[in-house]
Amino acid sequence: MGRDAWAWLGVVVLLLLVQLAGASHVVYENLLELKAEAEAVPPSIVDPQLRAGYHFQPPKNWINDPNAPLYYKGWYHFFYQYNPKGAVWGNIVWAHSVSRDLINWMALEPAIEPSIPSDQYGCWSGSATILPDGTPVIMYTGVNRPDVNYQVQNVAYPRNRSDPLLREWVKPGYNPVIVPEGGINATQFRDPTTAWRAGGRWRLLIGGVAGGGTRGAAYVYRSRDFRRWARVRRPLHSAPTGMWECPDFYPVGADGRRAGLETSALAGPRVKHVLKNSLDLRRYDYYTVGTYDRRAERYVPDDPAGDERRLRYDYGNFYASKTFYDPAKRRRILWGWANESDTTADDVAKGWAGIQAIPRTVWLDPSGKQLLQWPIEEVEALRGKSATLKDRVIKPGQHLEVTGLQTAQADVEVSFEVPSLAGAEPLDPALANDAERLCGARGAPVEGGVGPFGLWVLASADRQERTAVFFRVFRAAAGSDGKPVVLMCTDPTKSSLNPNLYKPTFAGFVDTDISNGKISLRSLIDRSVVESFGAGGKTCILSRVYPSLAIGKNARLYAFNNGKADVKVSRLTAWEMRKPLMNGA
């Protein structure tokens, strides 16, 4: 019997059961209608057990970009793009939540909604800056025309600075403060950054296009009073990538220490800068590490090919991100939005869409070539019951189950050791620069020399459903630095029986020296989220998956090895994760 025939039989049995139970209030005109509905919304997608448990989320509706994260009088503030009317993008306001620890959240009333001529058709993304007297100011993009998305920039101030929750925001009558002029494309002109200050003047960036739309550009604006702004003629930086949304620009310590720097920290030999852009065409966040010349108001990536080589914060589902400096713990924290990967009809049926990744501490790798990222330490307070495996060898083609705890909502840390790299497979030169294609061609089920090895998460007992997070090691390419090449992938192609999902294989190379055979992996598993950190945060991949079987208590966790060489799990600890306070949901 073919798949269609099985599907039909399932529908008929379902209909009979519904009629027998007399439980349905819906009168179906005919079987076709029921079939269409079953196909449109497979039952598991609306299962509340697929809603994230500890990732940031409002009780319902659509969310996208993180906006203006800040710390004020003992509270972390988080704003985000939110549709109060439904689970699709539209009617956007700035929702507002507060927290003591970036993990437990309390929802407040929206902070910024369309209310003035210069934002009446949209209150889009923006950032906060802390003024020298401690007052936070928000600058955000307003849409001021109904027909075209004509974009201007507005500011808003707290009504009452003594309120640590900053519940009310006031838009001064002199808005907008920045309008597109001098040939700037007004429909691609948005998302102001946090401002930095030097020599008595503020500077900030606004994302846009140049070269007739072919180039992304970060335009610099300067001001003495945060009210009158003038554009610097040449952008801070530009590259042939199409529109840059949500730019971010900040200093990092060049000494490889974790401590973050305040956005205005002076440029100098001990400071590097990071420029991040969200590429509208690809919907991924790319960054370079480089040098900021404050006098010339220019930024130069250290790697001349950096704009093409394309480092990403996350090689999965992670967009429109934004950092802020946390003065309480002297660290820089990264927020990023992860969209769903189901259909819009699914989102409407679920009544919610979008989460935020767990906030990550970011700092410069000692090599100076890339950032490192690690989930903020506060998330560990959610860890509960745990299980540990030690010194367990996984033979080729074998797997190990982690038992004794539920793993649908879990945190897993694992250290692998490969006794020998001698059998590593050669790297196809045609794919040597394309991790995603390489992983697509050599996915989790494809036997390799060293690897694939890693975790199967959100797996069903029979493992027909599973999301693989894994490494694969390749022999160093001729003419390279001689280091084996490590690929990290998340392969969700078997993550669900639901055929209507977007299941992209995500992958990135890991710039690590694996010659001692050791590599670590951490995965934050959260019902429909798999957020993974390879080699201590060198390569990160967030995936959205919606199991049909591996839901709630039925979700299993395994370590697997599909390579020809033995792999040792030196240590694996998995913790159940508690649910924090999440905006009243």
Task: Pick from 119, 245, 285, 342 the residue near ligand DQQ by CB under 6 A.
Answer: 245
Helix (H, G, I), strand (E, B) or coil at 45: helix
Q: By 3-state DSSP, what share of the chain in percent is helix, strand and coil, each rounded to 5?
A: 10, 45, 45
Report, in Å, the least distance between residue 124 CB and ligand DQQ. 3
Report, in Å, the least distance between residue 168 CB and ligand DQQ. 22
* Tokens 């209507």, residue located: 500
x-or-dash string of contact with ligand DQQ, 67-86, rule CB under 6 A: --------------x-----
By the rule CB under 6 A, 322 interacts with ligand DQQ: no
Euclidean distance between the first and final Cα of the chain, in Å?
44
Report, in Å, the least distance between residue 172 CB and ligand DQQ. 21
* Tokens 């905006």, residue located: 583
By the rule CB under 6 A, 320 interacts with ligand DQQ: yes
User: DSSP code of 66?
Assistant: E
Select from 497, 461, 377 the least CA-distant residue to 42: 497
Report, in Å, the least distance between residue 140 CB and ligand DQQ. 8
The one catalytic residue in 4, 47, 65, 255 is 65
Which residues between 119 and 148 bind ligand DQQ (CB under 6 A)? 124-125, 141
Report, in Å, the least distance between residue 544 CB and ligand DQQ. 16
Select from 75, 541, 528, 527 the least CA-distant residue to 342: 528
User: How many Cβ atoms sit within 10 Å of the Cβ of residue 181?
Assistant: 9
| The two structure tokens encoding residue 584 | 């009243």
Nearer to ligand DQQ, 147 or 462 (CB): 147
**Phi and psi, residue 422, nearest 5°:** -60, -35
Nearer to ligand DQQ, 149 or 573 (CB): 149
Report, in Å, the least distance between residue 191 CB and ligand DQQ. 5
Class of residue 182 by CB neighbours under 10 A (exposed 0-12, middle 13-18, buried 19+): exposed
By the rule CB under 6 A, 64 interacts with ligand DQQ: yes
Nearer to ligand DQQ, 112 or 459 (CB): 112
Those residues with Cβ within 8 angstroms of residue 505's Cβ, 6 or more apart along the chain or in another chain:
436, 439, 440, 443, 489, 490, 491, 492, 493
- The DSSP bridge partners found for residue 456 are 468, 558
Report, in Å, the least distance between residue 218 CB and ligand DQQ. 13
* Tokens 């990536």, residue located: 301
By the rule CB under 6 A, 277 interacts with ligand DQQ: no
Residue/partner pairs of 269-275 with CB below 8 Å, 24 or more apart: 272/302, 272/364, 272/368, 273/249, 273/299, 274/248, 274/249, 274/250, 274/364, 274/371, 275/218, 275/236, 275/237, 275/247, 275/248, 275/249, 275/299, 275/301
Q: Are 550 and 74 in contact (CB under 8 A)?
A: no
Nearest-CB residue to ligand DQQ?
Answer: 124
Nearer to ligand DQQ, 85 or 100 (CB): 85
Rg of the chain taking only CA atoms, in angstroms: 25
The beta strand positions in 343-500, using DSSP E, are: 352-353, 355-356, 360-364, 371-375, 383-394, 399-401, 409-417, 450-459, 467-474, 485-491
Nearer to ligand DQQ, 94 or 299 (CB): 94
Report, in Å, the least distance between residue 81 CB and ligand DQQ. 4
Select from 103, 100, 105 the least CA-distant residue to 58: 105
Task: Pick from 246, 289, 535, 567 the residue near ligand DQQ by CB under 6 A.
Answer: 246
Nearer to ligand DQQ, 247 or 251 (CB): 247
Which residues between 161 and 190 bind ligand DQQ (CB under 6 A)? 190
Task: Please report, as a single letter, which amino acid is at residue 33.
Answer: E
Q: How far apart are CA 441 and CA 433, in angstroms?
A: 13
Nearer to ligand DQQ, 275 or 549 (CB): 275
Is 346 in the active site?
no
Nearer to ligand DQQ, 84 or 253 (CB): 84
Interface with ligand DQQ: number of residues (CB under 6 A): 12
Nearer to ligand DQQ, 49 or 91 (CB): 91
By the rule CB under 6 A, 219 interacts with ligand DQQ: no
User: DSSP code of 378?
Assistant: G
By the rule CB under 6 A, 276 interacts with ligand DQQ: no
x-or-dash string of contact with ligand DQQ, 392-431, rule CB under 6 A: ----------------------------------------
x-or-dash string of contact with ligand DQQ, 287-306, rule CB under 6 A: --------------------
Nearer to ligand DQQ, 141 or 543 (CB): 141
The Cα-based distances of 41 to 53, 350, 494, 549 in angstroms read 22, 9, 19, 16
Report, in Å, the least distance between residue 294 CB and ligand DQQ. 26
The beta strand positions in 47-88, using DSSP E, are: 61-72, 75-83
Report, in Å, the least distance between residue 194 CB and ligand DQQ. 15
* Tokens 């599973």, residue located: 466
User: DSSP code of 7?
Assistant: H
By the rule CB under 6 A, 460 interacts with ligand DQQ: no
By the rule CB under 6 A, 191 interacts with ligand DQQ: yes
By the rule CB under 6 A, 92 interacts with ligand DQQ: yes
Report, in Å, the least distance between residue 526 CB and ligand DQQ. 22
Nearer to ligand DQQ, 274 or 320 (CB): 320
Applying CB under 6 A, the residues found at the interface with ligand DQQ are 64-65, 81, 92, 124-125, 141, 190-191, 245-246, 320
Active site residues: 65
